[in-house]
Every structure is written in structure tokens, then in C-alpha cells.
Structure 1
Amino acid sequence: MATLMEKLIAPVAEEEGTVPNNKITVEGTGQVSMVFTISILGKSLTDEFALVDVLEDKLKGEMMDLQHKSLFLQTPKIVADKDYSHTKKQRY
């Protein structure tokens, strides 16, 4: 027979899966790119995420927003830069 605690607290989420060992790069920090980025982060499809844009202020702001959101999700390492140096050793 289940205890009162087991009856009141039931699991509502599925078991956590493993995060693939890969890196995804998004070029640009426009509205479409950021919606794409958030949807990818929410699905835990990667363990490292890279943003690239020439507008450094906007890039830094978007990176900080994503890092703040990552506190509430199981999300990867997020890096951002205006050049492509941090995208090396990427498979796709």
C-alpha cells in the first residue's frame, strides 16, 4: 500500500535522457535565431552551444539571457564570440 507521501507526490516528468556529445553553432542573434536557440536548448539536443554575431553588445546580452535561462533547464555550456574560433572541432 502506498504511503500518503507517495500518493501526494507523483512523478510528472519522464526519466532524464543523456545529452549527446556535440556542439551546435547559431550564426546571428536576430529574433528567428534566438527562437531556434531557445527551442534547441529546451530539448537538450547538445552539450555545447556557440553563438556567433558581429554585433558584440547584442551578442553579449543574448548570451547572458541564455545563461540565466540555463539555470532552470538542463542545458549545455554556452559560448559566444564575434569570430568562429570557438566553433572549431565541430562536426556539423
Structure 2
Amino acid sequence: MKDLAGQLKLFTELDNDASTQRLLFMKVKKGFSEQSYKLATAQQQLELLQAQVTNNAVRKRKTVQLDPNTKFATISDVQKAQVEAGEREDDAVN
């Protein structure tokens, strides 16, 4: 931006030559284009990092409630615990 300010100061000091004005305005336009590109890139990276943070958030876990008469949990018991913990949709459970 310092270069841009220097170019504008130079523009005010020079005479009103059309080619000089065109050149300076092209430089100003290029400077703004570069800044907008950097801003868009930074915003894209910010969105990507925010998505990674939400995906890596600690997931809630709930212990599977076992029937006292069984040794192991059934698939339906595991799915029920997942629904209660919020990891899964309710329609997945039969």
C-alpha cells in the first residue's frame, strides 16, 4: 500500500498527461486487484480451517446399556446408544 500511496502522490505532482494518468491508474488498479485476491484467499482458508475445527470437535459418546442376561451388545443396542449420543439420525434405528 505504500507504493500505491507513492504513486498517487506522484500523480498529484505531475502534469495532466494522458499516458501518465493511464499508467498510474493501471498501477492503482493492479494494486487493488492483488489486495482483493489476497483477501479472497485468506477468507477461503479461514472457512476451510473453521470446517476442520467443527469436524474435529470432540464427539459425544454414551455407554451402551447391556441387557443383564447377555454377554455382548447387539447392533441395535449400539445404534440406540449412538442415537441417544447424537452421533446418528433416529431413522437409522429399527
Same fold (TM over 0.5): no
- Higher relative contact order (Cα pairs below 8 Å, separated by 6+ residues): 1
TM-score by length of structure 1 reads 0.24
**Higher strand share goes to which structure?**
1
Of the two, which has the highest radius of gyration? 2
**Higher helix share goes to which structure?**
2
